[in-house]
A and B are shown apart, each in its own frame.
Chain A
C-alpha cells in the first residue's frame, strides 16, 4: 500500500537538477520548487532510488525523504499549505478526459 512521502532536494549542478526534476515528476507532484509530494509503495520508492542514484553526486547534492504515513491516514492531514501548491495533490480516482 502506498504512503505519502515528502521529498526535498538540493542539487548543486544545473544539468543534474533538471534530470532529478524530470525523474521526480514521474513519481510525484511538485508542491514547491524542489519539494515533491509522492504517493509511493515500498517498491515504487525503491524504483525512485534506482532512478535517482545514478544521477546524484552525493558529495554535492542532498535529498531528504520523509514518510508521512498512509495515503488515507495521516499522510495528507499533516501538511498545511500557505498559498497554493504548485501542483495540487491528485485525488485517487480513475482519470476521465
Chain B
C-alpha cells in the first residue's frame, strides 16, 4: 500500500508564523537560505485555540493523519525531517525555466504585471471566517475576477488519476474556498511539482469541496474535544512522518492494547521508528575560568587564549558548566536559538539552573500536568507506578549482583513493591519508599569494593560524608539534570511533580521520573566506578567532614555516567535495541501520554 503514501510534509514551507503580520514580513525565496540555526518551528507563537482559523497547511497534515494534524496544530509539536527540509529548500530553488515568471518580488505580497492581463502575486495570507480557514498562498494568478492558487510541491507528480494525493488536493481546494469567500471566482487550482516540473490542474468539483469542508469540520471538532486521535495502525505513513519520534505510534498502540488484553500482546514485529541513539551529545565544562565561545558553527572552549576543545554545534545536545565558566554572548545566543540548553552546577556539583531558549510550547500538556498535580488521586496513581518501578529496579540490581537469589532483602523489596501498589496515600507511599531505600542501600553498599577503605556508613547527603555518598549525590545530580532537560524538551514543566512536592529551586518532576532510573542508571554507575577502580582515594578531598570529588574524579564519574546513557539495551516491552538516553525520552513522552489521558497507566521502565 506504499502507493497511498504521499511525501509527508511535501507542503511544508519555510518555517513561518501563521499570522498575517508575520506573513507580510516573511521574505519569499531569497538567494540565501537562513542558517539552519534560525529555523524555528512554524507557529511557535500560535496559541492552540480551538476556535482559531485553521491554517490550510495544517488541514493537509490532518488529512494525511488526524493525529499529525492534532499534534502540530493543537499541541504545537514540530520536528524537521529530511523531507520537510527539502520542501523548504525546494521552494527557494525552483527550476530555472520558471524562474522568470515566479521570481521573488522584493516585497512579498507584491503584485506584478505580467505580459498578459494575468497578475501574479505571491506569499499572500488570506483569511476566511465562514470557512474558518486561513490560507497562505505560494502564488496567486489573478485574471479579472478569476483567481487560481498555485502551490509548489517538492518531488514528482504522482502517477494517479486524481493527479495528486488527497492531502494536497484538499489543501489546494481549501485555498480555493478562501479565495471564493474573498470575492474571487475560483474553480481550479494548480499544483506545481518541482521534481518533475509539472503543473497539475486540480478542478474544485463538488466532491472535493464537500470532502474539504468535511475535514475542516472534523478537525475543528477534534481540536474542540481536546482528544488526540489514536495513532494509525501499522501504517506505512508513519516511517516517513516527521513526528514519529514524538507520536510513538506503535508503542502507544501496544500499550493501549496491553491495557485491555488479558494476555500481554506480542512485541514481535514492533517497528523501531525512532533512532536508537542521538547523534548529538552533551558537553561538560568544569575547568575554572575558561571561556566558551563560538567560531563559525563550532563551539570552542578556551583558557587564556589557548583552545582546549572545539566541537561542531550539531554535535552538542546540551552544555553543563561547573562553577566559574564564562560564555561569550554570541555563543549563548546561538545555543538558545538552537534550543541547546545550558545547565549550571555549582563547583561542588549541585544542579541549580538551566538556560534555555523559547523553544517549546505544549500548552495543552502543561495545563493537564497542573491539573493532574492538583488532583491527589491522579498524582498518586502516577506516583505509585514511579515508586514501584524504582523498587523493582533496585531489586533487579541486587538480584544480579548479590549472588544469592534467596537473600532476605529481595523478599522484602518484593513486599514493599506490592504494598507500594496499594498505598492509599502519598504519605504511606513516601514511607514505603523510605523503608525500601534503607534496606536496599544496606545491601547495595556491600557490593562496592573498597567500601571499608572509604568508611561508608549508610546513605548520607548534604553534605556527603564519605566518597561513596559523594559519588552517589553527584550522579543523582547528573541524572536529575538529564531528566530536567528531557522533560523540558518534551513540553513538561520540570518544576511541578506528582510525588515530590515542589520546593524552591527543585525540579520536582525530574526527581519523580528519576526514581525508576536511580538503580538502573545512577547506582550502576557508582558500582562501575568503584569496582573498576575508575575512581580511587585520591579522587576526593575532605573539608570539614564534607567529601567532594576532585576535578579528575568528577571527570571519571561524568565519563562513566555518559557511557551508561549511551549503553544500548533491549527494551523490555518494545523489544528493540535502544540506549538509556533515548529510554529517558521515551518514558517522558509516555508520561505525557498518560497525563493527557491517552494511556491509563504510566508504564514504568523496568529491566528484567
Contact = CB atoms under 8 A, between A and B. Distances in A.
Given A95-B284, A96-B555, A2 B279 contact: yes
B415 interface: no
Contacts of B35: 51
Interface stretch (B69-77, B164-172, B308-316, B484-492): B308-316
A43 B81 contact: yes
Nearest to A29: B312
B284 A97 contact: yes
Contact of A1 (B275, B284, B295, B297): B275
B301 interface: yes
Interface string B275-289: 100010111111100
Contact of B282 (A28, A44, A90, A94): A94
Interface string A22-55: 1101111000000000000111101101110110
Contacts of A49: 89
B559 interface: yes
Contacts of B32: 54
19 contacts: A25-B298, A26-B312, A26-B314, A27-B312, A43-B81, A43-B82, A46-B89, A47-B314, A49-B89, A50-B33, A50-B36, A54-B31, A90-B315, A94-B283, A95-B309, A95-B316, A96-B283, A97-B285, A97-B308
Contacts of B311: 90, 95
A50 B465 CA distance: 54
Contacts of B505: none
B287 A50 contact: no
B414 interface: no
Give the interface size bracket for B toward A: 35 or more
A15 interface: no
A97 B85 contact: no
Contacts of B181: none
A27 B314 contact: yes
A47 B296 contact: no
B364 interface: no
Given A23-B296, A97-B287, A41 B279 contact: yes
Contacts of B477: none
Interface residues of A, number: 26
B562 A94 contact: yes
A66 interface: no
A93 B313 contact: no
Contacts of A90: 311, 315
Contacts of A42: 82
Given A94-B559, A96-B558, A28 B312 contact: yes
Interface of B: 31-33, 35-36, 80-82, 85-86, 89, 93, 275, 279, 281-287, 290, 295-298, 301, 308-309, 311-316, 555, 558-559, 562-563
Nearest to A50: B33
B275 to A, nearest CB: 6
A94 B284 contact: yes
A42 B86 CA distance: 11
A93 B562 contact: yes
Contacts of A22: 296
Contacts of B89: 46, 49-50
A42 B85 CA distance: 10
A49 B93 CA distance: 12
B314 A44 contact: yes
Interface in A33-86: 41-44, 46-47, 49-51, 53-54
A46 B86 contact: yes
Contacts of B281: 92-95
Given A50-B89, A54-B31, A94-B559, A25 B282 contact: no
B33 A97 contact: no
A27 B311 CA distance: 10
Nearest to B295: A25
Contacts of A25: 295-298
B312 A97 contact: no
Contacts of B309: 95, 97
A97 B370 CA distance: 38
A43 B287 CA distance: 34
Contacts of B296: 22-23, 25-26
A54 B314 CA distance: 20
A49 B89 CA distance: 10
Nearest to B39: A47
A97 B286 contact: yes
Given A27-B312, A51-B35, A96 B559 contact: yes
A42 B287 CA distance: 35
A79 to B, nearest CB: 19
A31 to B, nearest CB: 15
Nearest to B301: A97
Contact of B85 (A26, A46, A94): A46
B296 to A, nearest CB: 5
Contacts of A41: 279
A95 B319 CA distance: 9
Interface in A10-25: 22-23, 25
Of B86, B290, B313, B563, the most chain A CB neighbours within 10 A belong to B86
Contacts of B279: 1-2, 41, 44
Contacts of A92: 281
A81 B298 CA distance: 25
Contacts of A28: 312
A25 B558 CA distance: 27
